[in-house]
Structure formats: structure tokens, C-alpha cells
Structure 1
Amino acid sequence: MLFAAGFGTRMRELTESRPKPLVPVCGKPLLDHTLDLVHQVSPSRIVANTHYRAPQIAAHLNGSDVLLSHESPDILETGGGLRHALPLLGDGPVFTANTDAIWQGPNPFEVLKDAWQPDKMDALLICIPTESAVGHSGAGDFLLADDGRLSRGPGLIYGGIQITKTDGLKDIDQSAFSLNMLWDQIHSMGKLFGVPYPGKWCDVGSPEGIVQAEALLRSTNV
């Protein structure tokens, strides 16, 4: 599940006429950087949600293997968007991914896939140590216990990609809601886990983030 429906307001004028997933980094749309990583793990199906400037996303993905889950009249946020897309995604655990990050190092989808243990995990989040987060100034989102379980608190940054079971979505009575609501539910059962990412990560949430991401990619190709 690729999240591509948002407004990208922090990008300012760059998203006045196009959706954030189509903003280029090193000449390639952010969405395509994520898709390159997705295709390396060969999921059975790929779904992207759309809302803001949806026809542009649809045109960009026309002829690809990506199915579209359009949200109208209102955007449904990450949790609501995932639930809305379940008829296309099917049953079972799914990857979900934001489409506004650049990675330097191993494929984060592979890192999650290798660490996933469905017998004890309901969600597994890729987490970034603060020293590996390029241009990120926050204190972090989660604390990681020795057994891999996550709890809320300053420490690791959520990198925007996870594997999650979707059963709990049916118990949330809002139409538009954040994945945080699902994580809180999973955490209460002791089944929210994280895995540290061993490379570098750049959140491309602003024009300044583009400059930092392009520098990261150039250093990768040296």
C-alpha cells in the first residue's frame, strides 16, 4: 500500500500544481524511487491511494502494475486509506509505505521482510536511529525494547514503511483516521514491534529536504 493521497503542504509552491509523490528528486519522482524498492520484493499486488491531484497520479501510473484506490470526497488519512483499499489489497499482512523518503543502504522492505514473525507480531515498523536521519530534527517517535517491542517515546524515528496485519481496522469507528490508532490497539496487545534501519534515511517533506535527499543520492553513487 503506497500512500499517495496527501496534499504535501510543507512543499509549498512545489505542490500547488502537482501532487507531492510526483515531485522529482534527482530527476525521478518520489513515487518512482519508492516503487523501485517495492518491485525488488515482488509483492502479489501494489495499491496506491489518491486524492489530491489524483488524475496526475493516475496518468503517471497508467500502464503500470499499480492499482488505484481513490478517496472522495474527503481524504481518509493513513488508517482510513488503508482500510478503504483492503478490497484491492486482499487478506493478510501488508506492507504500507509513505512515498516521501529517500534511502541509502539495504532495501527497507527487505529488512522488514527478513525480520517479520507473524506468530508474535501484528505490526513491524522500520525505525531510524536519529544519527541516521538526514535533516531530521525531532526527538523521535518510539522506544525499542531489547525484545524488539515498541513503545511511545523519544528515540527512534518511524521511517514510513511497515508490515501490518489489518484485522484491527474493522474495530475503528471513524472513516478518516491515522495509523496511530491501529498501532495503539496493537501496542495494547504487546504485538507492536520495530526493527532499526542500518543505513541512512532522508524525509523529503520540504524543499530543503529535496536538496538533502539529492546530496544523499549523489554520495551513494560516488
Structure 2
Amino acid sequence: MTSHALMIFAAGLGTRMRPLTDERPKPLIEVGGRTLLDRALDIGRDAGTQPIVVNTHYKGQMIADHLAGSDVAISHEPGPVLETGGGLRAALPLLGGGPIMTLNPDVVWTGPNPLSALSKAWDGERMDALMMLVPLDRALARIGGGDFSIDAKGRIGRGGDLVYAGAHVLNPARLAEVQDQVFSLNVVWDRIIAEGRAFGIVHPGGWCDVGRPETIAVAEAMLAKDARPDG
């Protein structure tokens, strides 16, 4: 299993998480006594990813202080929020040239390490993107419908009852195809999907979107259930 670089997206404004984000950036909100950022870092380190880069914007100094003395590099975005695609491209000098994993910290997982599973399934000969997905009926606190479907060969298409779970592997060379400074990874994904080089796998464990204050309790209940001997 090849080690990949990891980008953790931590530059968002966290508007849906207000008023909790009035005083701190969303990645520093705690779930079950541990910050969302530290939970994401745990997943990355457990999967052996290196280097690990975190991008920052809103209240970025608080994240920098939180990571002080660690082995995590910071890609600060002092101007406009670059969104996922622009933020990832800006961080490439810190991430290196190989396939890159990305992870959204505002998600809580149980079960197998999603990044380890992605690393094991990655095939750069066939793939330019590999996404971790979760069925809509197991996507706790999700608002809205599904994002993708998977065909018999594992290729993904838009529409369906599978939710993008906030973790994926990407060939970073595809980022150079976009001219805009600020852009979403969806722009890149659409091109890769059209070429049949976007794939997906399904996470078998628990998953909760921690995007609003009321979802913290949902995530904590999921974690508590997972920690019980009877599951």
C-alpha cells in the first residue's frame, strides 16, 4: 500500500455552524471531547499519510496555534477563500507531485479507516479520482439527496443514492486544467467522470456529517454506539 500525501480542508467560513463558529473555526469544534481537526489528523496518521497539509483562512491563526509543534504543514489562504480545487492547487508545493488524498474534517467516521481503504483500492493506471462514498440511508445528518452512482466496474456517475463522504484520492495533474484561481473540485471531477476515470468505493462503517450545531449530538451518539461492546 503506497503512502500518499494528505490535504485536510480547514479554510471554510463555517457559516452553517454558527453561532459556534463565531469564536473559533469549525475544525476546532469538539465532538466527543476531541476537535474535528484532530479526528481527521488521527485518520491520516493511522493510514500512514505523509506529508499532511492543512489549509487555513477563517481564524487561521487559531488553527496554526493548535498545530504548533506538530509535523503538519499549513497552507494559509490570506486572500479570497479558494474553495476546494483552488485551495488544493495552492497547497501543491507542500504536498508533492504524486496522487493526493483529501479529507474533510467536518465528518465523523466509525469502522475501517477510509484513507487506508482508498489507498489500497487506488490504481493510477485506470483512475484519476477515487472517492469514498456512503449510501444515503446510512448518511447521518445529511441534508439533501445522493451525489453519485457506481457501475459494475466501479466507475461513478452523477446522480444516485450514494453520498460523497468527504475523502478521496486525486491525480493532481488534473488541477492544472482549470484556469480560475477559485474553483470547486467538482469542476475537475466532472471532467474525470466524463472520461470514465473517476471511481468510487463504499464505506462499510458509520458516517455523520457534522455541519450544523445540532449534528454534534448525532455524531456523539454514533461514536458512543460504536464504542459499546455490542456495537
- Name the TM-score class by shorter chain: over 0.9
Q: Within the alignment, does 1:35 sit opposite 2:21 as a pair?
A: no
Q: What is residue 123 of structure 2 aligned with on the other side?
A: 117
CA drift at 1:143: 0.9
* 2:178 maps to which of 164, 169, 172: 172
Q: What is residue 181 of structure 1 aligned with on the other side?
A: 187
CA drift at 1:138: 2.1
What code does the residue aligned with 2:99 have? P
Q: RMSD of aligned C-alpha atoms?
A: 0.8
The alignment of Structure 1 onto Structure 2 pairs a total of residues equal to 222
CA drift at 1:56: 0.2
User: Quick one: distance in 2 between partners of 1:73 and 1:198?
Assistant: 39
SS in 1 for 2:38: helix
For normalisation by structure 2, the TM-score amounts to: 0.94
Q: Which runs of 5+ in 1 are unaligned?
A: none
Q: What is residue 100 of structure 2 aligned with on the other side?
A: 94
Greater Cα offset, 130-139 or 205-214: 130-139
CA drift at 1:113: 1.2
Q: Within the alignment, does 1:198 sit opposite 2:217 as a pair?
A: no
CA drift at 1:135: 2.1
User: Quick one: distance in 2 between partners of 1:34 and 1:94?
Assistant: 15
For normalisation by structure 1, the TM-score amounts to: 0.98
Q: Within the alignment, does 1:66 sit opposite 2:72 as a pair?
A: yes
Q: What is residue 111 of structure 2 aligned with on the other side?
A: 105
What code does the residue aligned with 1:49 have? N
Greater Cα offset, 79-88 or 112-121: 112-121
CA drift at 1:44: 2.4
Percent identity among equivalent residues?
50
Q: What is residue 144 of structure 2 aligned with on the other side?
A: 138
SS in 1 for 2:125: coil
Q: Within the alignment, does 1:154 sit opposite 2:157 as a pair?
A: no
Which stretches of structure 1, 4 residues or more, deviate above 3 A after TM superposition?
Answer: none
SS in 2 for 1:58: helix
CA drift at 1:114: 1.5
Q: Within the alignment, does 1:2 sit opposite 2:8 as a pair?
A: yes
